[in-house]
Amino acid sequence: FDSSNSKQDEASWTSASSGSSYVENPADAYADWITSAGPTPGSNNSNSSAPTYFASDLIISEVMPNPWPSYDNESWPGGEWVEVYNNGNTPFDVSGWNLTDSAGNIIALNESHMVGFDAADSNTWTLGVNEYALVAVNSTNAYGVLNNGQEELFLKWPNGSISEKVSWSKARSGMSLMKDSSGAMQTTVFPTPGEANAATIDLIIEPMVTSTISFNEVLPNSTADGNLFASGGEWLELYNNGTSDVDLTGWTLVDGIGNVTTLNDSLIDVGMTITADGYRLVEFIGDTTLWNDFNHLCLKDETGAIVDVLHWDTDHGENKSLIRQTDFTLPWQPSTFNTPGEQNPSTGVSNETLVIINEVMPDPLGADTSAWPGGEWIELLNVGNESIDLDGWKLKAGGNKNYALTSERILNKENTSIEPGEYLVVFMNGSSSFYLRNTNGDSVSLHNADGDSMHTILWGFNVTEGESLVAPLPASTTGQWVRSLWPTPGSENPSFGGYTGPTTIVMNEVLPHCYDDSVSPVDDWVELYNSGTEAVNLSRFSLVASDGDTIIIRDDKMWNVSAEDGTILQAGEYAVILGPTNFALGYGDSIDLLDPNGNNLQSMSWTTTVDCRTVGPVLDDVNAEWEVMLWPTPGEINPDPADYNFDVEVLFTRLMVEETSYSTRNNEFFELTNVGETTVDLTNYIIRRTKLAGDPYDGKFSSLFLQA
C-alpha cells in the first residue's frame, strides 16, 4: 500500500521452507510465489534479467545519505539530499521525475523536495545547461530515506522508466558521495551541494607541485580532542619547501565534511608567516575536530585554489601522527614517532649503528602482557665485529612510548652487552606503558645512549596472532616489515631465497562465517586448487585479507594434514587453508593470494554472504565478484547450478536422519512435497544419497505420482 492506502502489489504463499526465499511466479503473477534459486537480498533475483535503462541528460551527480551534524530527516539545508545535474545541451524539464531507493521510497522532484521549486514558475523546475538542482528529504520521513550502508538509488522518468542507478555500500558521517571515472560511487573530498563536484585526489595533486606550501604531518586522534596543542589536542603541520617566506593570511583548511578553518585563527605562535624550509603548526580547538577513522583535508591559498590534499582511511589510534606515502594519492600512514614542527623521521638504519632490530613479536599467542616465554618481544642483532654495551639505550614505539634496555629485560643476560653476531631478545614481561599495536600498524626505533636513532622499522597492517615480523625480502633494512615464516626469538631468521616453482594455484572457495559451527572445518577457511599439471609446494604462499590479516601457509594451517610434506598439492587437487575467526568478513571483503616472492597471483572479493554457506567464483565470469555457493564443498569441486533444475515443483520438505533410541523401528525417512498445481509423475526419478567421503547410492522410483 502507498501513503494514500492504495494497494500497489501483493505477494502470497501457502507454506515456507526454512532458509528459502520466494519470488514471483513468472508464469502467473497472481499465483503463489515460488522458491528462488537462492536468496539474493539487495540484488537481482537468481536467474532474473537486469532492468532496462533509458538514459537521459539528467544525471545524479552527488548524494548525501548520512548528514552530520543534522539528523537524516531534517529539512534543507539539513538532512539527506541528492544533487542532480543537466548534462545536456538544452534546458531540461524535471517535473514528474523522481528518485526511488531499493526499498521503494520515492522522493519526487517537486515542491516537497526540490530546493527552490515553485509550481507556478517553470524556471524553477527547468534546469539550464550545466545547472544543478538539490533534492532534499525535507522531513517527509521520520527516519530519513537513504541507507548509510548498502543502498541503490534510481533516477526515474515521469513514466516510471529507469534513467540511471547509483549504489554504495558505506556512507560516512557528513561526507557526500559522487561517481568516479568508472561510475562507482566514492567519498568526495568535501561536499559541494548545488555546485560542481570537487576534483578527485589524483587530479588535485597533479597541479599541486606549483605550490611551495604543503601538508607534512597530522595528528587526527588525540587524547584531548578540542584542546590546545600544548594541552594534547589535535594538530596539523605545514611545510614550506621553497626559498622564500610565505604569508598565510587568508589561507584556509576544508575537511571532508565541508568545515572551513581559517589559518588566521588557528596557527600556533605569533604571526602569519611560514619561513623558507620552515614548519608551522595548526591546532583544532573547541567544536572543530578531525574524524579519527576517515577524513580529507584540503589546503586553500588566499585565492581559494586548492594547493594540497591529504586523507586517511583508518583510525591508527590515539596520539599517532600520520605522514604522506611515496604515492601521494594513497591514504596517509603512521609516522615512526611524532615530530610536530620538525622534519619527519625516516625508516632505515643510521650509518653509525652496528646493532639493528632483527625481529618483532607484536601480537603473541595469549595475552600481550604475559611473562616470557609469552608476551611481546623484540630481537636485536649485533652486525658488527665488536662487543657493544647497550646501557642507556632504549626502544621507542609509536606514540612516544619508551622502554629502557636493562639486563633484567634481556633474555638470559646478566649485563647489557651484545657480542658480534649475537641475538638478544628484549621481552616486555607484562609492561603496560610500553606495548606494540596489533591493529593498523606501528613503528619501533632503537636509540643509543645519546638519544640518536640507530634503527627504525614500521609496518602498516593488522598483525596476526602468534606471527613475528622481519625485514622484507630480499634482505633489507628499509621498507615496511613483513610476516616471518615462523618466529625465531634469539636465533637467525628463516630464509629460503627466491621461489622458482610453479604458481598454478587459485582460490576456489571461502567460508566467511558459520555461527553454529555446523560446517566442517569450522570458519574461517579458504580452499585452494592446483590448476596446473605438476605438484606445487604451498609452503610460504600467503593469503592477505583487505584489512591486512595474513595467513602464511604451513602444514599447521592446512585442514586434514599432519605430515610435514602435507603442503604439497598435487595437480587437480584441493587444499583447505584454516584461518583465524574474522579473517574473512561476512559483510563484504577481499582476499589476495601471494606466492612466496610476494607476487599477487589472484585477487577476489564478495559483498553478499549467507551464514554457513561458502562463496566462490562465478563459473562463466572469472572477473566477477564471488557469489554464494549452493552448499560448502571443502576439498572438493564446487557445485554447478547448471547441474540442478530449480524450477522443479517437487521439493524435499522433511528429513529424519536418525531413529529414536528407544525404538527398534527403522524410522529414518525423507519427505517430498509437490508444491505445484498439477500432479507430477516421478516414475524413474532418482534419489541420490552421498555419504561424506563415500560413494553415492542411487535409488529409483519404479512408480510414483504426487498430487498437487
Segments making up each domain of the chain, as ranges = 58-187, 201-334, 348-483, 505-640, 650-706
Any idea which architecture 505-640 has in CATH? Sandwich (2.60)
Rounded CA separation 282/269 (Å): 10
What's the pLDDT tens digit per position in 9-56? 889 888 776 667 888 887 777 788 887 766 777 767 765 556 788 999
Contact 375, 430 (CB under 8 A): yes
Residue 16's pLDDT is what? 76
Please identify every stretch of the chain with a pLDDT value under 70, giving residue numbers as ranges: 17-19, 37-38, 43, 46-50, 205-209, 336-337, 345-352, 398-400, 440, 460, 473-479, 496, 564, 646, 659-666, 692-694
User: What predicted TM-score, i.e. pTM, was given to this entire model?
Assistant: 0.50
Cα–chain-centroid distance for residue 197? Answer: 25
Beta-carbon contacts of residue 694 (< 8 Å; ≥ 6 apart): none
122 half-sphere exposure, CB direction, 13 A CA radius: 3
Residue 2's pLDDT is what? 79
Rounded CA separation 632/510 (Å): 9
Contact 434, 402 (CB under 8 A): yes
Residue 49's pLDDT is what? 59
Closest C-alpha among 270, 276, 197, 207 to residue 242: 276
Residue 206's pLDDT is what? 61
Rounded CA separation 82/172 (Å): 15
Cα→Cα distances 418→379, 410, 428, 444, 451, Å: 12, 10, 18, 19, 19
Cell of 144: 530519513
Domains 58-187 and 201-334 share a fold: yes
Terminal alpha carbon distance of the chain: 32
Q: Does domain 201-334 have CATH number 3.30.450?
A: no
Cα→Cα distances 351→355, 356, 390, Å: 11, 11, 17
Q: Does domain 348-483 have CATH number 2.60.40.1260?
A: yes
Mean pLDDT of the chain: 86
What's the pLDDT tens digit per position in 186-215? 999 999 999 999 888 877 766 555 789 999
Contact 86, 129 (CB under 8 A): yes
Q: Does domain 58-187 have CATH number 2.60.40?
A: yes
Fill in the DSSP letter of residue 649: S
Strand partners, 446: 395, 455
Length of the chain: 708
Residue 463's pLDDT is what? 84
**Phi and psi for 312 in degrees, rounded to 5?**
-135, 155
275 half-sphere exposure, CB direction, 13 A CA radius: 5
Computed on alpha carbons and rounded to an integer, the radius of gyration of the chain in Å comes to 31
